[in-house]
């Protein structure tokens, strides 16, 4: 009479292989979801910072005035703010994110416009979030000059 032990061992090896494949797929899904969660967190933070900056520029009535308020160096109608990996602003050694504010010269008289963009420093430098902001310029002050 033949022994059934080799058949049982083969069946258990196939079961272990199936479970190992299932575990590998689950692990891959968890890693992918963690990456998606990190990107979503970065995008949410970028949206908040860009919206805050757009409101600051609109409130101040221009890019140069907003730069003065934030004590940033403004040249030719644009300035840049740097953030580290924990979204702390300032001049750090490791810059992970860059917030750019650029004045756009529109065709409409009395309407100031700017583009606010936040992008990662790592390649590819596709913006996380970007918004255009517009404000009504003070024409009475310009006409008095």
CB 119 within 8 A of CB 97: yes
* CB-side neighbour CA atoms (13 Å) of 1: 3
Residue 22 in any domain: the answer is no
Q: How many domains does the chain have?
A: 1
Residue 27 in any domain: the answer is no
pLDDT tens by residue, 1-39: 578 888 899 999 999 999 999 999 999 999 999 999 988
Q: E-strand spans in the chain?
A: 78-83, 97-104, 111-120, 129-136
Residue 59 in any domain: the answer is yes
pLDDT reported for residue 52: 94
Tell me the C-alpha distance between 48 and 89, whole Å: 14
pLDDT at 143 over 70: no
Residue 10 in any domain: the answer is no
Residue 14 in any domain: the answer is no
Tell me the C-alpha distance between 3 and 39, whole Å: 56
CB 117 within 8 A of CB 100: yes
CA max distance for the chain: 112
Residue 49 in any domain: the answer is yes
pLDDT reported for residue 93: 77
Residue 79 in any domain: the answer is yes
Residue 31 in any domain: the answer is no
pLDDT reported for residue 100: 92
pLDDT tens by residue, 41-98: 989 999 999 999 999 999 998 899 999 998 888 888 889 999 988 888 877 678 889 9
pLDDT at 140 over 80: no
pLDDT reported for residue 73: 87
pLDDT reported for residue 46: 92
Domain that holds residue 73: 43-144
pLDDT reported for residue 141: 55
pLDDT reported for residue 131: 95
């Amino acid at each position: 009479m033949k022994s059934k032990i080799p058949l049982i061992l083969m069946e258990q090896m196939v079961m272990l292989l199936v479970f190992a494949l299932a575990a590998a797929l689950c692990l891959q899904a968890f890693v992918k979801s963690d990456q998606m969660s990190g990107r979503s967190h970065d995008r949410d933070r970028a949206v908040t910072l860009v919206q805050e900056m757009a409101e600051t520029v609109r409130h101040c009535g221009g890019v140069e005035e907003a730069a003065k308020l934030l004590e940033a160096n403004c040249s030719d109608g644009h300035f840049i703010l740097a953030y580290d990996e924990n979204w702390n602003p300032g001049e750090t050694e490791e810059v992970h994110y860059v917030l750019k504010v650029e004045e756009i010269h529109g065709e409409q008289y009395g309407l100031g416009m700017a583009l606010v963009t936040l992008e990662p420093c790592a390649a590819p430098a596709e913006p996380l979030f970007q918004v255009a902001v517009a404000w009504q310029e003070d024409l009475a002050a310009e006409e008095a000059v």
